Amino acid sequence: MSDFGNFIDTITQDRIVPKVTDNVLNENILFGILMKENRRPASGPEIKIPLKYTTNTAGATYSGFETLNTNQVNTRIYATVTPKQTAWPVAVSGIQVAVNKGPEKILDLLATEMDSVSADMADNLGTQFYSDGTTNSNKYITGLDAMVDDGNGTATYLGLARATYTTWVSNLDSSSNAITIAEIAASYNAAGIGSEEPTLGITTQSIFATIEGLLNATLSWNNPSGYVNAGTAGGSITKGRLADIGISALQYKGKPIISDYKCTSGRFYWLNTKHVWVYTWPSPDFPGYVSKPNYNGFIWTGLKSPTNQDASVGRFLFYGNLATDACRLHSYMTGKS
The C-alpha atoms of residue 331 and residue 170 are separated, in whole angstroms, by 5
pLDDT score of 245: 27
For the chain, what are the domain ranges? 5-14+27-50+79-333
Q: From first to last of the 337 residues of the chain, give the pLDDT tens digit.
A: 456 667 766 665 544 555 555 555 556 788 888 888 888 989 899 999 999 888 888 899 999 999 999 888 888 899 999 999 999 998 988 888 888 887 767 668 888 888 888 889 989 999 999 999 999 999 999 999 999 999 999 999 999 999 999 999 999 999 999 999 999 999 999 999 999 999 999 999 999 999 988 877 555 444 343 334 443 333 334 443 333 323 478 888 888 899 999 999 999 999 999 999 999 998 877 665 555 666 778 888 888 888 899 998 988 889 999 999 999 999 999 999 9
What does 235-255 look like in DSSP terms, one character per residue?
A: ---EEEES-BSB-S-EEETTE
Q: Which residues pair with 315 in a beta bridge?
A: 89
For residue 17, the model assigns a pLDDT of 55
d(CA 310, CA 163): 56
Give the number of other CB atoms < 10 A from CB of residue 101: 11
What's residue 12's pLDDT? 59
Angle of helix 205-215 relative to helix 181-190, nearest 10 degrees?
110
Q: Are strands 311-324 and 298-300 parallel, antiparallel or unpaired?
A: antiparallel
Q: What is the pLDDT of residue 226?
A: 39
* Predicted TM-score (pTM) of this structure: 0.82
Q: Convert the pLDDT of each residue in 63-119 to its tens digit.
A: 999 999 988 888 889 999 999 999 999 898 888 888 888 776 766 888 888 888 888
Separation of alpha carbons 99 and 179, rounded Å: 56
Q: How far apart are CA 159 and CA 172, in angstroms?
A: 21
Residue 5: partners with Cβ closer than 8 Å, 6 or more residues away: none
